Amino acid sequence: MTTHTSPVTPGTDRAASTTDGHHSPRKAHPALALIVIAAAQLMVVLDATITNIALPAIQVDLNVAAANLSWIVNSYALAFGSLLLLGGKSGDLFGRRRMFRIGIVVFTVASLLGGLATNEGLLIAARVLQGIGAAIAAPTALSLIAVNFPEGPHRNRAMGVYAAMAGLGSTVGLLLGGILTDYLDWRWVFFVNIPIGLLVLAGSLVLNEGQRNPGRLDLPGALTATTGLLALVYAITRGGTHGWTDTLTLSCLAAAALLLVAFVLWQTRTNHPMLPLRLFASRSRSGSYATMLFIGAGMFATFYFLTLYMQQVLGYSAVKTGLAYLPFSIGMGIAAATSSKLVERVEPRNIAGPGLLLAATGMGWLGGLQPDSSYTTHIAPAMFIVAVGLGLSFVPMTLGAVSHVRDQDTGIASALLNTAQQIGGALGLAVLATIATTASNHKLPDAAATFFRGLAMHNTELIQTGANALTHGYTTAFLIADVFFITGAIIALTTIRARPATADNKAHNHIGL
């Protein structure tokens, strides 16, 4: 059923008044509100990559076993990915600004603890806590855009900035991680979040709260969804390192399937569902979620394998690798700003679809890399094209996820988009890591070990042979990621039926599906 409600406009009494007795400012400050939300999003996203470049230094300083090193990264992804739905729903129920601030506090405190960690156990625990804070802050940040900016040009521009932060965060993390690790200390990849977090907290006072959902928390739904997603993300992560026939991997996949099916069945029976299934009634919105799944799968893999290629095969330092991603950051920023204006005149699918096909073209170009490929004439232009394509896609997909959603559902709708991207990223990276390793070892048995043995022995022949095999594995992964982007483009073009944002806004001020 379609119902009509009045639009949520910043500065109105409806936006200013909250049910917890507190009042947001009656006159919103759009520029400051956007800076606060964008800074929070940037901080949360960059933390997924900023630690990667610091891993060698962390391993030496804390004497971390090689088998446990990946958990410094994976523990964050596990907590973040599995708790996003719960974090988004908590904003709808208990107040978006309130939960946003709680998420930032948890994230900032966890960053302090991570920087002070004296052993791997404390560091991994801090990373889990960071993931919890991020899972609360990320979906509430997106839903706060829906609350603080009315549908139309203002929200489109805000979404453009948000989408740019979502894409830029990963590349900024690589650049900042390299600089902080090389010139200061690995602990600063955590300490850098503290001043940002404090500034975001101070600035959050200008954000409007929006309406709270009078419902209650669906505890069975929260339990089955969180444990199901946790089992799924863990199984995907483990499958990439231990193989897909590993007993624990298969057990976790089976448990995830059972728990998530039980979650969906429960949502059809309860009066206060954690995830209102009406969100999927819109074909366009469901298409946005599915498209974002494939965007995440391809984008995360791009960063991972391109970083390995530049550091291992080309021998780039941490700082040089970070700087090498500048074309990606520039392309993403330009495209996100452009698409935020295009959505006012062009149908979202006609922006996202061609954007993903453009990204696929750039990814195909990366699929032709050789061990001696030129950065200037091959790597930089290829990653710029990928970034422009993705930048064009992020804004319409983000708008599609929260457009015409009931005010009480914006948090969970935002969380679904974040979850799709995180699950897609984890699944894509795990699958492509397996494919890349298999392709490399097919060309040269135990390719990575051979390459590093050649480096240790200064054996030019072994280094060249190993580099050829590793490059073959990475480019194979790029070509499969290419398929992910093409699939996303097909989904976007065939499922998303929304009109341009301004035309849509004139026809329906705010629609709940």
CA distance 457 to 513: 64
Cross-strand partners of 512:
3
CA distance 272 to 265: 13
Query: In this predicted structure, what is the pLDDT of residue 6?
Result: 34
Mean pLDDT of 184-189: 88
Query: In this predicted structure, what is the pLDDT of residue 502?
Result: 54
Judge contact between 369 and 477, C-beta under 8 A.
Answer: no
- Nearest Cα to Cα of residue 140 among 56, 32, 212: 212
pLDDT over threshold 50, residue 449: yes
Domain boundaries defined on the chain: 3-217+274-512, 221-273
pTM: predicted TM-score of the whole model, two decimal places: 0.77
Confidence grade of residue 197 (pLDDT, cut at 50, 70, 90): very high
Kindly provide the b/e burial profile for residues 142-164, where b requires at least 16 CB atoms within 10 angstroms of the residue's own CB: bbbbbbbbbbbbbbbbbbbbbbb
What is the residue-wise DSSP string for 308-351?
HIIIIIS---HHHHHHHTHHHHHHHHHHHHHHHHHTTTS-THHH
The pair phi, psi for residue 298, each rounded to 5°, is: -80, -40
CATH code of domain 3-217+274-512: 1.20.1250.20
Confidence grade of residue 407 (pLDDT, cut at 50, 70, 90): low
Confidence grade of residue 149 (pLDDT, cut at 50, 70, 90): confident
Point out the least confidently predicted range of 41-55, 106-120, 200-214.
Answer: 200-214
Q: What is the DSSP letter of 511?
A: E
Point out the least confidently predicted range of 25-29, 56-60, 406-410, 484-488.
Answer: 25-29
Mean pLDDT of 478-483: 94
CA distance 388 to 375: 18
Judge contact between 511 and 2, C-beta under 8 A.
Answer: yes
**Distances from the Cα of 354 to the Cαs of 120, 390, 391, 436, in angstroms?**
45, 10, 11, 27
